[in-house]
Structure 1
Amino acid sequence: MLLEQIILTGIMLVLVACLFGTRLNPAWLFVGAISSAYLAGLIDLETMLVNYANPSLITLVLLVLVSIAIEKTTLVQYLARSLANGSLARSVMKLGLSTAFLSSFTNNTAVVASLISTIKESKTHSPSKLLLPLSYTAILGGTLTLIGTSTNLIVNGFAIEAGMAPLGFFDFTLVGIGALSVGLITIILLLKFLPDHGRKEEEVVPFYLEGKVTASSKLIGRTVEENGLRDLRDLFLAEIIRGERRICAVTPQQEIQQGDILLFVGDIKSVPLLRRFDGLQVVHDKHEKDAEHLVEVVISQSSKFLGKTLKEIRFREQFHAAVIAIRRGHDRLPGGLGQVKLQAGDSLILAPGGDFYQLPDLKREFVYISGLDLQTHLTQPQSNKVMAAFVAVIGLGIFDVVPLVKGLMVLLLGLVLFGSIKVSEMKRRFPIELLAIVGSAIGLAKLMIDTGLAGQISDALFYVLGDFGPYGAFIAIFVMTVVFTELITNNAAAALSFPVAYALAIGFDVNPLPFVMAVAFGASASFISPFGYQTNLMVYSAGNYRIKDYVTVGLPLSIIYSITVLTLIPLVFPF
């Protein structure tokens, strides 16, 4: 047993180090960790594979797929139209309550994706005042029910594997309502600290544009200053890429050479200024004639191009459009546009070819295209049937008439047969990475408990926290999970924290449920960083936010959320 603990400790330390210290895909890391445990003889193949068929995990996958139909209903359209009415505070209140309600029953990333386009087109309120509250309330809404967020279902799966009774559908609701209430009030009070990019026209949106110096250019052989490249209105020459070499902090005396790629930072509206320079090619080849009709797109969370560069995916060939600018919030993007690895939420400015809008992959790859509605909507009768069927399945599951897994399977089959969901949509949206992370994490958590490693860690924490009692340990677990969530991902945070939380509760000989809830609510507390939660990343560029915007609003929200949750959980679930 000691040898098993040593091996598993090594595997977990490598996993944690890679999660925190690298940008490797968490799915690959978790699969690699559980595979290493199998190769080391800590777990047999059958037991390892069974973890990927955990009922909570299957429920989560089915919910993600069913939500494809839910987001097409007129309910989402009605919500989007209602946002334009009333004052900013009233609009945020309506947005928050509606988004939270939808997120408590469906996938919250789907809810946010469905509303981004409408909010960006809002003529009543600045999108930057609405998009971050949209993300935050989607996160808060997910804490209301068992199926509201993947984290709750994952924690339920961990609990079942540890021998606890399954969590009830509304076990999270009382604490979740309290967190949502104080959270929404906090967001409304902090609205004045969010940027108002819709009203401050003098603010330059930091897009990254590149121009290539052609062989016949008169810029060649002259310095940056001589060519007048330092005196551009709302544009700044940030880098020169010369072959494999990057020249940063460009000086006025830097000489321009043939083939140089000049990387500018600034306002996309200043693109016409670059055309006055002889031989500086901003929009390439056949798309030159379309440069007057630029299109903005936002990369979808379901895009198959995430983590890949424009060169790797041959963007121009795939979409018949040239990328002339990229924006990721206010982040500094080093290198040429072709070397930028795409992330969900990135904004691209395209010069499209004539058949761009007829391409079939637009809805999969982008959540927003300026001037174009990407969502395929159901008719009112279809919407009513879909919502009625979904409510019926949830109701039957709540009252234990039909298990939720069976009900969702039948519902999904019916939605496919009646055309509400296409098989191609299911393939595109199938959460393979989530399946990989959660299935692997369940196996690792069970191993930590069965080998006694979790007990050893809890004993060490007990030595440190023993004088503070169960409540002190409960707070420590919550804080640890929140930190993990902000630094890695919510699902990974839950996977790392649960075994220790469960072992601590056993060590204190108290009810483990408060500790389990601390992990669940802590893993949903991602408000301070745009990278800790998918919805935060999706609105990052769409709202033209800086990281300081997340800190300014998210830090007070995180503190108030934490105080509320840490107060309510022991009252609802006594030690």
Structure 2
Amino acid sequence: MYQQLVLTGIMLTLVGCLFGTRLKPAWLFVSGIGIAYLGGLIELEDMLINYANPSLITLVLLVLVSIAVEKTTLVQKLAQSLSKGSLTSSVTKLGLSTAFLSSFTNNTAVVASLITAIKDSPTHSPSKLLLPLSYTAILGGTITLIGTSTNLIVNGFAVDAGMAPLGFFDFTLVGLGALSVGLITILVMLKYLPDNGKNDQEVVPFYLEGKIEEGSKLIGKSVEENGLRELKDLFLAEIIRGDKRICAVTPQQVIKAGDVLLFVGDIKSVPLLTRFDGLKVVHDKHEKDVEHLVEVVVSQSSKFIGKTVKEVRFREQFHAAVIAIRRGHDRLQGGLGKVKLQAGDSLILAPGKDFYTLPNLKREFVYISGLDLQTHLAPKQSNLVLASFAVVLGLSIVGYVPLVKGLLVLLIGLMLTGTIKLSEVKRRFPIELLAVVGSAIGLAKLMIGTGLAGEISSALFYVLGDFGPYGAFIAIFVMTVLFTELITNNAAAALSFPVAYALAIGFNVDPLPFIMAVAFGASASFISPFGYQTNLMVYSAGNYRLKDYVLMGLPLSIIYSITVLTLIPLVFPF
């Protein structure tokens, strides 16, 4: 009874913090299992062994091997074919190709590799392609065991609960069904996506500033005389003069020393500003780097959220200057240093030489362009990497070599050949994922072992008993979907699994359909840009509004749910 009470307090606090705070899930889950250890609920050896779970190690190795897969020419060849044909044809090709790639490798890497090419598409508006890109990457991840971290995590939970390991293609029939109806839904709903064309000035609202230095030839002349009124793809929106903001800038407004000019427009026009004498877009040692810019998106788990660039001392932390910010369609106000950052904000950075070596880049940002995507392998080396990866997967599928062993050998080989550098491994090592999943496995074991999951399932059984196993199965799926939209997919799986397993035992049915409900429910993030990383990546890149996700994602989520809830019991009977 003592153990159940303590664990109940831990889980309620954990869930409350996940929903009500911006604390990182990694800290919350590690704190939860740590308190369980201090409270005598789990021994140290039993706690630590959860971090060496085979499914978790497989997931970590997949993330690291995907560093090399990202550098291959496969994604670039795909990007080149997207501009050919009608919009329906392009989205179909994009969807099927993205889904296929996402079923075998990291879907975040696939989306990151394609975003730049899609934004530069000469035939179709990026806003018509980027959200379908994210959605099909999510759908593709459900097709195989390794397609998404969620599937591997659920497999780890299942093995620790005493079930047989899930097979590589156990998810495939349901996943292909979900992909098929999902892609058809996306094609039908394409007309409702915004057409944010390149000539629409409203939809390229990058927000950047330039400072008038002492001795500038612009000083003492009006905006019109200085030629600041007729800039290509840039609009002078505000002037900040000390503590004063001049919001309606007229052509007759005279420029003074120390003025900060705030522009709205296309980031590609930044070089125009550098031609004006004494107008500095990037300051200090970064001045010469204005032609080598990096675009990043603030992650939902970033510690910067709610703080200004000045408050977080961005330049000191990242050896990079923020020269522009974009937040969907929102018109920002005040200087760049006073803008409070939000998840999904797109930042344009002028990086210093040490920027790429910093260890915490992946934790704070989702990449869109630059960084790891700048270097690509030669065609011969690229083909060798893809062939090696395919061999490892093939040997695992036929049961000849366990996937974890094959990936470990492949990773060592890639590092020895220099395809993957040690610095890349250090920078990309998924320490937070390791912390969340390892801790979640321990907490799930405790919930089952102490009987807490059984108590919860008994309460649900009392409510859902009249609806039978299928009613409980639907309830678990819906609960997981809601968790996924409100927190993260991995945390949703961790919270739902113990209850799902205990409910199946309570109904005296096979737990597998309930486990599959958790896996597919945790991948159903379509309604919000914040529930899944790929959705967040395309948010600013496509100049989307929140209503675009709801309008496109709600029908997709409903149809996906109906399909999955129909197929799982057929493929995995109770």
User: How high is the TM-score relative to the length of structure 2?
Assistant: 0.85
SS in 1 for 2:296: strand
Q: 1:200 offset after TM fit, Å? A: 5.1
Q: Give the whole-Å Cα distance in 2 for the aligned partners of 1:239 and 1:3.
A: 61
Cα distance in 2 for partners of 1:442, 1:467 equals 31
> Per-residue deviation at 1:319?
7.4
Give deviations 1:340-389, integer Å, cap 9, x for gaps: 57677542245x59xx699755997783458x994311122212221111
Q: 1:241 to 1:457 in 2, by over 3 A?
A: farther
C-alpha contact 2:245 2:334 (8 A) present in aligned 1: no
Moved more, 306-315 or 523-532: 306-315
8 Å CA contact retained: 2:239, 2:245: yes
Residues 258-281 of structure 1: per-residue CA shift (max 9 Å, x gap): 999897877769999999xx9998
* 1:235 CA displacement: 6.3
**Partner of 1:547 in structure 2?**
546
Paired with 1:312 and 1:423, the residues of 2 have a C-alpha distance of: 32
Residue 525 of structure 2: aligned partner: 526
Tell me the amino acid that sits aligned with residue 475 of structure 1: I
What's 1:56 paired with? 55
Question: Following the alignment from structure 2 to structure 1, what is the Cα–Cα distance between the partners of residues 479 and 301?
Answer: 32
Q: Do the aligned residues in 1 keep the contact of 2:241 with 2:260 (CA within 8 Å)? A: yes
Classify the secondary structure of the residue corresponding to 1:402.
coil
Q: CA deviation at 1:313?
A: 6.6
- Give the distance between the partners of 2:262 and 2:36, measured in 1 at CA: 47
Q: Distance in 2 between matches of 1:270 and 1:384?
A: 38
Contact 1:235 1:270 in 2 (8 A): no
Tell me the residue number matched to 2:149: 150
* Paired residue type of 1:193: Y
Matches for 1:473-488 after TM superposition, within 5 Å? 473-488=472-487
Where has structure 1 moved over 2 Å in runs of 4 or more?
A: 202-217, 232-242, 247-252, 258-275, 278-291, 293-296, 298-325, 328-350, 356-370, 372-375
Q: Within the alignment, does 1:557 sit opposite 2:556 as a pair?
A: yes
Matches within 5 A, 1:222-261: none
Quote the Cα distance in structure 2 between the aligned partners of 1:377 and 1:12: 45
- Contact 1:237–1:265 (CA under 8 A) maintained in structure 2: no
Q: 2-side partners of 1:320 and 1:44: how far apart?
A: 43
Q: How does 1:499-538 map to 2 (within 5 A)?
A: 499-538=498-537
Could you tell me whether the CA contact under 8 Å between 1:238 and 1:265 is conserved in 2? Answer: no
Indicate yes or no: 2:132 matched with 1:120.
no
Alignment deviations for residues 285-305 of structure 1 (CA, whole Å, 9 cap, x no partner):
5777988x6956234879999
Within the alignment, does 1:400 sit opposite 2:411 as a pair? no
Q: Where do residues 157-196 of structure 1 align in structure 2 (5 Å cutoff)?
A: 157-196=156-195
Shift of 1:325: 2.3
SS state at 2:202 partner: coil
Stretches of structure 1 lacking an aligned partner (at least 5 in a row): 218-231, 253-257
Who is 1:427 aligned against? Answer: 426
Deviates more, 1:488-497 or 1:460-469: 460-469
- Structure 2 counterpart of 1:326, which letter? I
Residue 297 of structure 1 corresponds to which residue in structure 2?
Answer: 295
CA distance in 2, matches of 1:424, 1:140: 32
What's the counterpart of residue 462 of structure 1? 461
- The alignment's TM-score, normalised by the length of structure 1, stands at 0.85
Query: 1:367 is aligned with what amino acid?
Result: Y
The answer for unaligned runs of 5 or more in structure 2 is 217-230, 250-256
Aligned to 2:389: 390
Name the structure 2 match of 1:570.
569
| Segment drifting more, 533-542 vs 518-527 | 533-542
Which residue does 1:4 correspond to in 2? 3
Pick which of 205-214 and 150-159 moved more.
205-214
Q: Sort the Cα spacing of 1:403 and 1:335 in 2 relative to 1 into closer, same or farther, 3 A.
A: farther
Residue 106 of structure 2 is matched in structure 1 by 107
Aligned length: 553
Match of 2:24, as an amino acid? N
User: Which amino acid in 2 is paired with 1:297?
Assistant: E
**Shift of residue 339, structure 1, vs aligned partner:** 5.7
Residue 254 of structure 2 corresponds to which residue in structure 1? none
Q: Contact 1:214–1:281 at 8 Å: present in 2 too?
A: yes
Structure 1 vs Structure 2 CA RMSD: 4.0
Shift of 1:489: 0.2
Q: Is the deviation greater in 513-522 or in 546-555? A: 546-555
The alignment partner of 2:323 has SS state of strand
* Aligned equivalents of 2:415, 2:271: Cα separation in 1: 48
Give the SS at the match of 2:374.
coil
- Which residue of structure 2 aligns with residue 221 of structure 1? none
Counterpart contact for 2:238–2:245, Cα < 8 Å: no
Q: Deviations over 1:19-58 (max 9, x none)?
A: 0001111111111111111111111111000000000000
Separation in 2, partners of 1:185, 1:361: 43
- The letter for the 1-side match of 2:191 is K
SS of equivalent residue, structure 2 residue 146? coil
Contact 2:70 2:373 in 1 (8 A): no
Q: Give yes or no for contact 1:146–1:170 (8 Å, CA) kept in 2.
A: yes
TM-superposed CA distance for 1:556, in Å, is: 0.7
Match of 1:190, SS state, is helix
Secondary structure, in 3 states, of the residue corresponding to 2:157?
Answer: helix
Q: Partner of 2:417 in structure 1?
A: 418
Deviations 1:492-513 (A, max 9, x none): 0000000110111111111110
Q: Deviations over 1:97-136 (max 9, x none)?
A: 1111111111111111111121122112111111111111
Contact 1:209 1:265 in 2 (8 A): yes
Instruction: Give the counterpart letter for 2:29 in structure 1.
Output: F
Whether 2:40 is the aligned partner of 1:66: answer no
Q: 1:424: Cα distance to partner? A: 1.1
Partner Cα separation in structure 1 for residue 357 and residue 104 of structure 2: 28
241 and 406 in structure 1: CA distance in 2 versus 1, 3 angstrom threshold? farther
1:227 equivalent in structure 2: none
Identical positions, percent: 76
Cα drift, residue 331 of structure 1: 5.5
For 1:330 and 1:510, how far apart are their aligned partners in 2? 50
